[in-house]
Structure 1
């Protein structure tokens, strides 16, 4: 038996040695150290982390966003990406309701009214919008803007539709060219929605003369939770930690001051300060990583979170690939900021810009 024990000990040592070697191994190829091109403008990306405006206290006044928006306008982005799903992704998700039935009502606007007004489904409306943009004149008529707004709504791109609507003179904001009374009402309601994709991104895009914004969120990693009760209990236990308490106290203190423009700027400075993502990790994702249930709910959550951020980074990179040399402003929930910056930094033709100087 002694030789059996010796063999088992050898196997155990080999397993431990292999695990240690795997942990110590670092790939020798680092894309972030191979930046290019040597000549010509690089792509610049500024990631603005934001608190979700819909969740701020009633003391928040959208007018107090003006100093922030002025600073962002001064950076002169060529494109603005937002934390929304594209119409085409929502169209894809609707084809798989068994997996995405919980996500669709939350993240995907109803395109049926716009389809009724235009006679176009998401795919056809998207194709027509792209064709219009490819031949877009320097000085589009009001009718062209209304038509493009209608196509964006039918394609599930509400924020981009609003970019067109906001560039119309008040007298031209009326039903025509594919927009009926129902769609006009939707746009008028949408323009004041407490949402950073609307109050910051769409309004800034219209101010800068852009024709659209770029939805870059991704929820294709969503899946139904098999045991909601067990998952909820496990995750609540993981999130009951000192780091989350510190984080919530800091958020509460900042939100108490958002009744002024300076208070709103202070909120954005904190959301984009060094260490903000580390605190989010310690309180949320890091705690989930160590969650100890037999079902490993925490690691499933981390898998979803990393996949979502990787695909968001990929969506941003895809836009940059079509227009090399862009300056891209990305407006995203603050917990995503550090992940997106880290992933985008790995890409050869992307320079990540520090948002902090802009917010001073």
Structure 2
């Protein structure tokens, strides 16, 4: 990093740290204006049973594969054992659907040479498609789950390929370095560590991938802000990140309230609390929405993009609920999406479920 940029970042960090140090922790309730379009009381309990035939539980969590400090299995098992009592018949995970156009937008899927693997597995691409379609028309678990996993993989349905490989100890992953390295990373992800055991316990036979990463939903404001800061515009710190000191102090307040981060169940309890939802509302709708730089309403554009992405994700979930006639849907997603998806569920015909009811200590 050029020395000039290092100086700029050091100054920016000092300013942000100083603001956080001298600012007293502020409760979320005090940040929300009286006319805020959010009522935290609505997020304190599940909607009543007569509010819809299909219940939707949105579990907001940190991305476990990106955590520097890994969460060990016993702490994960306390969460999955408690969450399994919801008994979902649909489990949706934050991964791109098989039919998402490859290479479009931010396509984070690894571009495997499926024809090569089809040849090594003595299975054609069309045969893989037929195996999956036939399985969807049955009510029993597959007689050869590892072959089904290969079929999903060849159809670019990575989430279900890994689901069957992971829950059936299939050796195909271990034999191929490229697949094995990819699988090892995703096995740390919450979609696997939480989604797989809960889905398997509830006999969910097929996971739903519901992410969206189109260019029209691009997250650009972070790089935009850094570019301005690196150019020497130190005022970008206050323009683009006015919420950082307060967010830090609030998170510290609620971390103390809900327990140490080593208690993963309590961490999830905090991330799915009304206070966390209110904090997200404040950041996006009250702060980011108003960011303007050199006459460009970059904040408003970014919030619009993020709303669009979440609406696309929610549409994918709705399509799956309708297709599978699901009655209890579990959505496992990064906590940054929770406010948006909660709002979309509340405005739909579904019954919103408070995740904290299924995050109780055993």
TM-score, normalised with respect to structure 1: 0.72
| Alignment size in residue pairs | 303
SS at match of 1:162: helix
Task: Indicate whether 1:47 and 2:58 are aligned.
Answer: yes
- 1:339 corresponding residue in structure 2: 340
- Indicate which of 197, 203, 209 corresponds to 2:197: 203
> Which has more radius of gyration?
1
Distance 1:197 1:139, change over 3 A: closer
Q: Distance in 1 between matches of 2:180 and 2:138?
A: 25
Please tell me whether the aligned partners of residues 111 and 153 of structure 1 are also in contact (alpha carbons under 8 angstroms).
no
- 2:187 corresponding residue in structure 1: 193
Please tell me whether the aligned partners of residues 129 and 151 of structure 2 are also in contact (alpha carbons under 8 angstroms).
no
Please tell me whether the aligned partners of residues 56 and 255 of structure 1 are also in contact (alpha carbons under 8 angstroms).
no
- 2:330 corresponding residue in structure 1: 329
Please tell me whether the aligned partners of residues 243 and 279 of structure 1 are also in contact (alpha carbons under 8 angstroms).
no
How many Å apart are 1:158 and its aligned residue? 2.2
- 1:246 corresponding residue in structure 2: 249
Structure 2 gaps of 5+ residues are 1-46, 229-235
Q: Distance in 1 between matches of 2:259 and 2:50?
A: 48
Q: Distance in 2 between matches of 1:283 and 1:212?
A: 35
How many Å apart are 1:332 and its aligned residue? 0.9
Q: Distance in 1 between matches of 2:221 and 2:267?
A: 37
SS at match of 2:187: coil
Please tell me whether the aligned partners of residues 141 and 205 of structure 2 are also in contact (alpha carbons under 8 angstroms).
no
Q: Distance in 2 between matches of 1:51 and 1:284?
A: 18
Q: Distance in 1 between matches of 2:222 and 2:182?
A: 41
Alignment of 1:300-315 (within 5 A): 300-315=301-316
Please tell me whether the aligned partners of residues 221 and 302 of structure 2 are also in contact (alpha carbons under 8 angstroms).
no
Q: Distance in 2 between matches of 1:211 and 1:183?
A: 27
TM-score, normalised with respect to structure 2: 0.71
Structure 1 gaps of 5+ residues are 1-34
SS at match of 1:356: helix
Alignment of 1:1-360 (within 5 A): 42-58=53-69, 60-89=71-100, 92-94=101-103, 96=104, 100=105, 103-104=106-107, 107-112=108-113, 114-118=114-118, 127-128=129-130, 130-136=132-138, 138-142=140-144, 145-168=145-168, 170=169, 173-175=170-172, 181-182=175-176, 186=180, 189-190=183-184, 193-220=187-214, 221-223=216-218, 228-229=223-224, 232-233=227-228, 234=236, 237-241=239-243, 242-250=245-253, 257-259=260-262, 263-293=263-293, 294-348=295-349, 350-360=350-360
Distance 1:86 1:227, change over 3 A: closer
Structure 1 residues 128-157: Cα deviation after superposition (integer angstroms, max 9, x where no partner) = 354132233524223xx1222112222332
Structure 1 residues 96-141: Cα deviation after superposition (integer angstroms, max 9, x where no partner) = 5xxx2xx12xx223232x3321269999588435413223352422
Aligned-CA RMSD value: 3.8
Greater RCO, CA 8 A, separation 6+: 2
